[in-house]
Chains A and B, each alone.
Chain A
Amino acid sequence: MSVAGTIFLQSVDFIDAAYILAFAFMIYGMSGLTGPRTAVRGNQIAAVGMAIAVVATLLRKGEFNGSGTVILIIVGLAIGTAVGIPAARNVKMTAMPQMVALFNGVGGGAVALIAWVEYRHHFGGGWPLRSETFELFGAIVGSISFWGSNIAFGKLQEILPGRPIKLAGQSMINLVLLAICVVSAVVLAAGVHSQALFILGILVAAGALGNMLVLPIGGADMPVVISLLNAFTGLSAAATGLALSNPVMIVAGMIVGASGTILTNLMAKAMNRSVPAIIAGGFGGAVAAPAGPAGEAGGTVRSTSPQDVAIQLSYARQVVIAPGYGLAVAQAQHAVRELERALEAKGVTVKYAIHPVAGRMPGHMNVLLAEADVPYDLLREMDDINPEFGRTDVTLVIGANDVTNPAAKNEPGSPIYGMPILEVDKSAAVIVLKRSMASGFAGIDNPLFYDPKTSMLFGDAKASVSEITAEVQAL
């Protein structure tokens, strides 16, 4: 009986059925991610699907033939678990974009390594052309994704400068590298057997291309790039699935490829940028700014004190808070929530204006504010809040810069011209909390700061907000 049971569990039919169950779970789980209430369970269901897929794969006949194989698999899984769990547990919410970039990168790296092993395995022939084609595609795209994600991580972690790093003839170099990848792939698929060509022509050239693609991209565009690389890794995983004729890999990889593509477009649209323009790079550098308002840049800035701000806020009817990445860096979410409560106790209506790319990823700011228990219904998206600024007495801009920059509307010469912004300059008064006069992530000067309606409160956002709250409560 137990022998029959084992045979059944190891049968191709059973494993295929488990695979189908696995991707059904993943799709169902992902559809749960569409609503805040179902999202937690959705994610867990998807994780269960993944676990089913892994267990089914391990059941395969022959998997445990050599004890060496078992040990190696355990070692691999153990290392991955030992690295993955603490990384995911300890990462700060503000550092989430980097973490996603890193997790994405290792996925791409796995694809490239698997393709390499497949290539070695079939070295000397006997590899069906279709498998080889898909593996070569996977190797190129996986390599690009691995190296590109690492550079994105480096930029977001500020190990590398956020400004675009550009070489002369950059696009020419990229084209040449892409051509090397494609030509190598064609030559290899045509039946030339060369390890060196595979390693140099595919893995190294694609890796260099990944570096070159992301290095010239400015920090402000980084979320779009991570999303694009996420889609790339998904596609390369699907290609590996096609090469190995594994249905669950095909489905899971392709779904990520499709969803990543949509997300990339949504994000690019929110910034009024096209994906090709982002890839071409060169946005967000100090170099790009000279077209800006040289005259206005010399304008005067009015600074204010926490006491004055508290009085202004307390006597307002409606206050809108426009948070940005600076708020997250200062860990001021909880302080802001306190301020909101203090103002509400005085009968002031408080709303939060959330730009789609506030923070460093779409929805990043929502996560950060949710962490501080800000009620979901106080968060307003850009299109809902923009008509309200005219009726707003005071707008409090906390650590946001580029997403409030009126140059995006008024100055055709500005590098961010055309990007939809929070129209904070339409409210009766604007108070900007900022560490210093340094420009934003995109490195562009902000005329909002020189607007006569604007007053600036310099200092650490958390400390400033706490002082204001204390003053409001004392009034």
Chain B
Amino acid sequence: MDPLVIDIAVLVLAGFVGFAVISKVPNTLHTPLMSGTNAIHGIVVLGGLLLMADSSGFLEKLLLVIAVAFGTINVIGGFLVTDRMLGMFKAKDPPKAEDTEAEGDAK
């Protein structure tokens, strides 16, 4: 099969996965979710890494270093910030742990 067809098939399926996974997220978690998905599109950093080996000339190298730095900020910053936010949901009064769990299931 034409590789493009396979790639597009992957694209379409990934779109459905995205819809399916995300439509279940409660309102409460929308902000961490936005920030978590934000970190995931930092995957563009791979593009910078892939092109680096074949690049030539100062401008191309400079652009790629910036691109890799941007992508890394996106990935690392995104995951860390999400972790910090979610940590606040988790760090509840330890004695009430059971209540919190019951609530989590009910939602």
The answer to whether B72 touches A80 (Cβ under 8 A) is yes
Q: A50 contacts which chain B residues (CB < 8 A)?
A: 39-40, 42-43, 75, 79
Given contacts A121-B55, A246-B46, contact A356 B22 (CB under 8 A): no
The answer to whether B7 touches A113 (Cβ under 8 A) is no
- Per a CB cutoff under 8 Å, which of B40, B44, B88, B103 touches A111? B44
Number of interface residues of A (CB under 8 A): 111
Q: A59-98 vs B: 1/0 string, CB under 8 Å?
A: 0101101101100110111011101110111010100100
> Does A262 belong to the interface (CB within 8 Å)?
yes
- Measured CA separation A359–B85 after assembly (Å): 15
Number of interface residues of B (CB under 8 A): 89
The answer to whether A363 touches B29 (Cβ under 8 A) is yes
| Complex: chain A residue closest to B99, CB-CB | A377
- Per a CB cutoff under 8 Å, which of B14, B42, B69, B75 touches A250? B14
The answer to whether B70 touches A106 (Cβ under 8 A) is yes
Q: B27 contacts which chain A residues (CB < 8 A)?
A: 354, 356, 362-363, 366, 381
> Does A295 belong to the interface (CB within 8 Å)?
no
> Does A256 belong to the interface (CB within 8 Å)?
yes
Q: Which of B33-65 contact A (CB under 8 A)?
A: 33-55, 57, 59-61, 63-65
- Per a CB cutoff under 8 Å, which of A31, A40, A76 touches B72? A76
> Does A395 belong to the interface (CB within 8 Å)?
no
> Does A162 belong to the interface (CB within 8 Å)?
no
The answer to whether A36 touches B107 (Cβ under 8 A) is yes
Q: B53 contacts which chain A residues (CB < 8 A)?
A: 60, 62-63, 65-66, 69
> Does A407 belong to the interface (CB within 8 Å)?
no
Given contacts A100-B81, A234-B37, contact A375 B51 (CB under 8 A): no
Q: A246-260 vs B: 1/0 string, CB under 8 Å?
A: 111111111111111
Q: Which of A177-209 contact B (CB under 8 A)?
A: none
The answer to whether B38 touches A117 (Cβ under 8 A) is no
- Measured CA separation A85–B99 after assembly (Å): 34
Given contacts A60-B50, A256-B41, A367-B85, contact A263 B80 (CB under 8 A): no
Q: B76-98 vs A: 1/0 string, CB under 8 Å?
A: 11111111111111111100100
- Per a CB cutoff under 8 Å, which of A106, A245, A367, A377 touches B32? A367
The answer to whether A110 touches B29 (Cβ under 8 A) is no
> Does A319 belong to the interface (CB within 8 Å)?
no
> Does A120 belong to the interface (CB within 8 Å)?
yes
The answer to whether B48 touches A227 (Cβ under 8 A) is no
The answer to whether A226 touches B34 (Cβ under 8 A) is yes
> Does A46 belong to the interface (CB within 8 Å)?
yes
- Measured CA separation A81–B23 after assembly (Å): 32
The answer to whether B7 touches A110 (Cβ under 8 A) is no
Q: A339-362 vs B: 1/0 string, CB under 8 Å?
A: 000000000000000101001011
> Does A34 belong to the interface (CB within 8 Å)?
yes
> Does A43 belong to the interface (CB within 8 Å)?
yes
Q: A91 contacts which chain B residues (CB < 8 A)?
A: 81
Q: Which of B1-40 contact A (CB under 8 A)?
A: 3-4, 7-8, 10-11, 14-19, 21-40
The answer to whether A230 touches B34 (Cβ under 8 A) is yes
The answer to whether A85 touches B89 (Cβ under 8 A) is no
- Measured CA separation A278–B16 after assembly (Å): 26
The answer to whether B4 touches A103 (Cβ under 8 A) is no
Q: B85 contacts which chain A residues (CB < 8 A)?
A: 93, 96, 367
Given contacts A73-B68, A363-B28, contact A263 B22 (CB under 8 A): yes
Q: A54 contacts which chain B residues (CB < 8 A)?
A: 45-46, 49, 75
Q: A329 contacts which chain B residues (CB < 8 A)?
A: none
The answer to whether A72 touches B37 (Cβ under 8 A) is no
> Does A376 belong to the interface (CB within 8 Å)?
yes
- Measured CA separation A88–B74 after assembly (Å): 10
Q: Closest approach, in angstroms, between the C-beta of A400 and any C-beta of chain B?
A: 16
The answer to whether B36 touches A253 (Cβ under 8 A) is no
What are 14 inter-chain pairs, A to B, with CB distance below 8 A? A34-B24, A79-B65, A84-B80, A85-B76, A88-B76, A114-B64, A121-B55, A241-B7, A250-B7, A253-B43, A363-B27, A363-B28, A375-B99, A375-B100
With A53-B46, A75-B69 known, 7 other A-B pairs at CB within 8 A are A37-B90, A54-B75, A65-B53, A68-B61, A117-B60, A251-B14, A354-B27
Interface residues in chain A, defined as those with a beta carbon under 8 Å from any beta carbon in chain B: 26-27, 30-31, 33-37, 39-40, 42-44, 46-47, 50, 53-54, 57-58, 60, 62-63, 65-66, 68-69, 72-73, 75-77, 79-81, 83-85, 87-89, 91, 93, 96, 99-100, 103-104, 106-107, 109-111, 113-114, 116-118, 120-121, 130, 226-227, 230, 233-234, 236-238, 240-242, 244-260, 262-263, 266-267, 354, 356, 359, 361-364, 366-367, 370-371, 373, 375-377, 379, 381
**Shortest Cβ-Cβ A-B pairs, 9 listed:** A80-B72, A258-B18, A76-B68, A88-B80, A363-B30, A84-B77, A362-B30, A259-B22, A254-B14
